[in-house]
A and B are shown apart, each in its own frame.
Chain A
Amino acid sequence: MSNSAISYWRQTKDQIPLLEKEGEIISFTKVENNWIGIIKLIDKRITAPLVFNTKKPEIGDKVRAVLRILAKPNSEDLIEYGIKFQFIKEI
């Protein structure tokens, strides 16, 4: 995401309505130490980070949108909050 506060605000306001929505993983990968997936919700599909603490994701796993810090910021950066999808059985 852009470091501009205005750009951050513009993009994140679209994510807030997703909070608490549930969906199913249709594909996933791991880049560095982060799981990322494509999630099928009732009315749309979205690409987002995944939170899986006790197991590796699998296609078909049920997940729910939660609010999390998206990336570790530097001292003078914006702290970027956004949506991640957590494995429902771990909530």
Chain B
Amino acid sequence: MKKVTVSGIYQTQFGELWDKSLEDLITESIHGCLIDSNIDSSQIQGVFVGNMLGGANENKEHLSSLISQILHSQVPVTRVEAACASGGLAIRLAVSAIRSGEIENALVIGAEKMTDLDSQTISAGLMGAASEEERTAGLTFPGLYALLAQKYFNNFHAQEKDLALVAVKNHFHGKFNPKAQFRFPISTQQVLNSAKIADPLKLLDCSPISDGAAAVFLASESWIKKHNKKNGVFIAGSAQAQDTLSLSQRSSLSSLSATKLAAQIAYRQAGISKKDINCVEIHDCFTIAEILALEDLGLYNKGEAYGHINEKETYIGGKQPTNTSGGLKACGHPVGATGVKQIIEATLQLRGQAGDRQVEDALVAVTQNIGGTGGTAIVHVLTK
């Protein structure tokens, strides 16, 4: 299998960016990534863009052509939609295209503009990633993840405080990330005292509504050598798995089996085991999701992750540093951009450029990006 390298990265600020449109964010991420890659747009052979709500929110359905206009290029641009996994899937498709030999490099962009709309409208748009049955029942995404949390509590005797510790840790990490939406610490008590959104999840268990974009330039190892470009970080494993749209149709509510399956495939491709992983960027759209992901990625046994989180093992400097970017909770969650941002954080860690949030001697990083309630899961393994 051809080796794929991450040769350039750029992330815009994540947050409530009232002065920027979706097009502004995409343009900034493209230009930033071209500079970091030290290439010009004429060298790009393919483009993949992850976006979920551009049509519904900004009446921008034809992003492929918009990006051609920004790049002044006629190479194929493919828009990818897989709910909150749109960015991760765009990466995966680019990796597949390079591995196949059809193209030797690709620009991958993830972008979302969410804060122009009121919360009810954006929530209704996001519920397009759930099933009709779930919408009719009156559920929202916090409600869907609350169903998973309630079942987890019942099976493994975790409590609301155990969820709160995930948010506290991610805000601690976000403090060190200049691109994060929230750069301030929060306390366990603040999480527990925040407004209940969907029992047992509270406001500070939930990732925010965010604007932002991220871009990476991927290339085959041979293209990198031929053009004398930056090397150093490889995508060694790239896998995708699916599951039912409705939670009610799953065999288990205490894990997301698509993550388990994608992780097994990605680890096998990369020739690694869970013991080799130095840091992970995982999809903490809600605090319970981080606990499930740590277990589904095989890093902790089922029902045990929250105990290790209590021991601070998932902090920078701990045994299993998790979401050093601040995760979706503190860095922000512009849905189409999240999967690409995770690759950027993993790359920064492996390059040794993560600044105050650097994980010492990081050699292997794993990212996990989820669409819906786990209907799509994308897992990538990055190595130095």
Interface assignment of B168: CB less than 8 Å from any CB of chain A: no
> Using an 8 Å CB-CB cutoff, how does the interface string of A25-44 with B read, 1 for contact, 0 for none?
01111110010111000000
A48→B150 contact, CB < 8 A = no
Q: Which residues of A contact B199 (CB under 8 A)?
A: 29-30
Interface assignment of A45: CB less than 8 Å from any CB of chain B: yes
Q: A36-B137, A47-B137, A47-B246 are in contact. Are A30 and B198 (CB under 8 A)?
A: yes
B137→A27 contact, CB < 8 A = no
Interface assignment of A69: CB less than 8 Å from any CB of chain B: no
Q: A38-B248, A45-B249, A47-B246 are in contact. Are A28 and B135 (CB under 8 A)?
A: no
Complex alpha-carbon distance, A67 and B262, angstroms: 41
> Using an 8 Å CB-CB cutoff, how does the interface string of A16-31 with B read, 1 for contact, 0 for none?
0000000000111111
Q: Which residues of B contact A48 (CB under 8 A)?
A: 133, 137
Interface of B is mostly: helix
Q: Report which of B132, B142, B147, B249 forms a contact with A27, defined as CB distance below 8 A.
A: B147
Interface assignment of B140: CB less than 8 Å from any CB of chain A: yes
Q: Which residues of A contact B140 (CB under 8 A)?
A: 31
A38→B198 contact, CB < 8 A = no
> Using an 8 Å CB-CB cutoff, how does the interface string of A55-70 with B read, 1 for contact, 0 for none?
0000100000000001
Complex alpha-carbon distance, A28 and B147, angstroms: 5
The chain B residue sitting closest to A30, CB to CB, is: B199
Q: Which residues of A contact B253 (CB under 8 A)?
A: 26-27, 38
Residues of A participating in the B interface, judged by any CB pair closer than 8 Å? 1, 11, 26-31, 34, 36-38, 45-49, 59, 70-71, 82
Complex alpha-carbon distance, A71 and B137, angstroms: 10
Interface of A is mostly: strand
Q: Which residues of B contact A29 (CB under 8 A)?
A: 139, 143, 146-147, 150, 198-201
Complex alpha-carbon distance, A29 and B196, angstroms: 11
Q: A38-B253, A45-B248 are in contact. Are A28 and B150 (CB under 8 A)?
A: yes
Interface assignment of B136: CB less than 8 Å from any CB of chain A: yes
